Amino acid sequence: MEGRQYETDEWMNTPSSILSAVSRRLHLQPDHPLAITRQLIESRFPGYKSHKDLFPIVTVDQNFDSLGFPEDHPGRSRTDTYYLNKDTVLRTHTSAHQAETFTANQSDGYLITADVYRRDAIDRSHYPVFHQMEGARTWDRNKFDRKYNTLTEQIMADIAKIPKHDIDVSDPNPTIHPERNPLQATHSAEEVEAMATHLKRSLEDVVVTILSAAASAASKTGSPQSSASLAQEPLKVRWVEAYFPFTSPSWELEVFWQGDWLEVLGSGIVQQPILNKAGVGSRSGWAFGLGLERIAMLLYSIPDIRLFWSTDPRFLSQFSASSPISQFIPFSKYPACFKDVSFWIKSSSSAAGGLSGQGATAQHFHENDVMEIAREVAGDLVEDVRLVDEFVHPATGRKSLCYRTNYRSLERTLTNEETNRLHNQFTQQLVAKLGVELR
Ligand code: DAH
């Protein structure tokens, strides 16, 4: 990979189609909507050091252990994560670089933008490669401005520098809750109240400035979808309690979007052991991680996540860093083609596993393996794959599943022969790789 050598072993589950995404670096392509979104967010964090080219292949230690993920966390499984070998993965989140960035200790605040990789569902908002931005702000309790008596006073002074907004943000929960969102033993409640306020005001500033600018652009241009987009309603955002292994207390920020609350970021007070191990134990602070595609889809009304990977000039030419706030005018939609496949799943007593089960132990059927096969066969010609029926035979106890695949290109009309061929390959591979029995 790009001049680096990795020895694979029986943990390897990364197809070449995924490895080939490593070189795309969409968040660095000039005028790409993800790059513009990155720049818009970066502009709201003056003074934060920005890292944009950290290599995506990391150790299990970086991705999970250093962040305090428990041994049995589902994120570690080969159904969810792309492995090259037992100790090496494609990073599943930008948090994989927290420990090393804290160790380097180059600035009080930093941002990391990068491609991340997850085995996941296929639909219009999920793609196995996407982009995250991570940010953190820490304060050194031995080195704050001597004008202030306490770290809390320093943080309060920093809060006063964050631009104000006039959006009503709902935040009904207490900052600290002994069971649901505990304080770490190493922190005082006042400090955490101050850090939490700094975190929340900073991230509200990002969401409010970017999404209100997009809403006002949409209402001015009266773009075709503006009735379904941001322009229609006043921006509504809320904080909810969350859990992450690497923060406590933790919160998510949600935006009200087309009738639903949409999660846009996770955040919290950094677990002190992470900073201690990084050799900066006198520092404490907050971190967040957000999905760039999600923000860009809201910002530009982009209807399908596959579009970010398009090289079609009808897509790319609509975005320009010199006028970052615009609305995407979708090209007409090509026809959908739905095809079903029904099968009995193999009983889990058999040792011959599927994609994720080529090792010695028996593995259960996992939906992500179905998704991976669809992606390998049809690539970006598959729009979504959905479980539409599930049935357990009353006498034998065998389980049958029916998946509906929507084949649709973003760029042209697919022919019947083409979709039939894709679907045949898909069903054959399900049998060959997962050992299912077609019905
Ligand atoms: N890494 C998390 C994810 O991928 C996002 C996240 C949550 C990052 C909280 C953070 C954080 O830095 O503090 O879901």
Quickly list DSSP for 243-294.
Answer: EETTEEEEEEEEEEETTEEEEEEEEEEEPHHHHHHTT-TTEEEEEEEEEHHH
- In angstroms, the CA 294 to CA 302 distance is 9
Pocket test for ligand 1, best of 93, 98, 131, 269 (most atoms within 8 A of CB): 93
Burial of 42 (0-12, 13-18, 19+ CB in 10 A): middle
The most distant pair of C-alpha atoms in the chain lies apart, rounded to whole Å, by 77
pLDDT at 327: 86
* Residue 96 CA, ligand 1 centroid: distance in Å: 10
Residue ID of nearest Cα to ligand 1 atom 4: 93
Strands 283-291, 337-344: pairing kind: unpaired
* Residue 199 CA, ligand 1 centroid: distance in Å: 13
pLDDT at 3: 87
Give per-10-residue mean pLDDT for the chain (439 aa). Answer: 92 96 97 97 97 98 98 97 98 98 98 98 96 98 95 98 94 97 98 98 96 81 56 85 98 92 97 98 98 95 96 96 90 94 77 41 79 97 97 94 97 96 98 96
Tokens of 344: 């009995």
Ligand 1 atom at minimum distance from 290 CA: 5
Burial readout 325-336 (b: 16 or more C-beta within 10 A, e: otherwise): bbbbebeeeeee
Ligand 1 atom at minimum distance from 134 CA: 12
Amino acid at 65: D
Pocket test for ligand 1, best of 91, 92, 95 (most atoms within 8 A of CB): 95
Which residue(s) pair with 400 in the sheet? Answer: 344, 391
- In angstroms, the CA 93 to CA 246 distance is 12
Ligand 1 atom at minimum distance from 289 CA: 8
Residue ID of nearest Cα to ligand 1 atom 12: 288
* Residue 410 CA, ligand 1 centroid: distance in Å: 31
Ligand 1 atom at minimum distance from 135 CA: 12
* Residue 289 CA, ligand 1 centroid: distance in Å: 4
Residues at CB less than 6 angstroms from ligand 1:
93, 95, 134, 244, 247, 266-268, 287-289
Residue ID of nearest Cα to ligand 1 atom 9: 267
Pocket test for ligand 1, best of 64, 267, 286 (most atoms within 8 A of CB): 267
Question: DSSP secondary-structure letter at 346?
Answer: P
Neighbours of 209 (CB within 10 A): 17
* Residue 266 CA, ligand 1 centroid: distance in Å: 5
Q: Which residues lie below 8 Å from residue 266, measured CB to CB, with a gap of 6+?
A: 242, 244, 250, 251, 252, 288, 289, 290
CA distances from 244 to 111, 248, 269, 330 (A): 19, 7, 10, 37
Ligand 1 atom at minimum distance from 286 CA: 13
Taking a C-beta distance cutoff of 8 angstroms, is the pair 181, 249 a contact? yes
- In angstroms, the CA 114 to CA 266 distance is 16
pLDDT at 362: 38
Pocket test for ligand 1, best of 69, 244, 293 (most atoms within 8 A of CB): 244
Ligand 1 atom at minimum distance from 291 CA: 4
Tokens of 2: 């790009």
pTM of this prediction?
A: 0.93
With CA atoms as reference, report the closest residue to 372 among 386, 387, 397, 355: 355
DSSP reduced 3-state for 43:
coil
Burial readout 151-170 (b: 16 or more C-beta within 10 A, e: otherwise): bbebbbebbeebeebeeebe
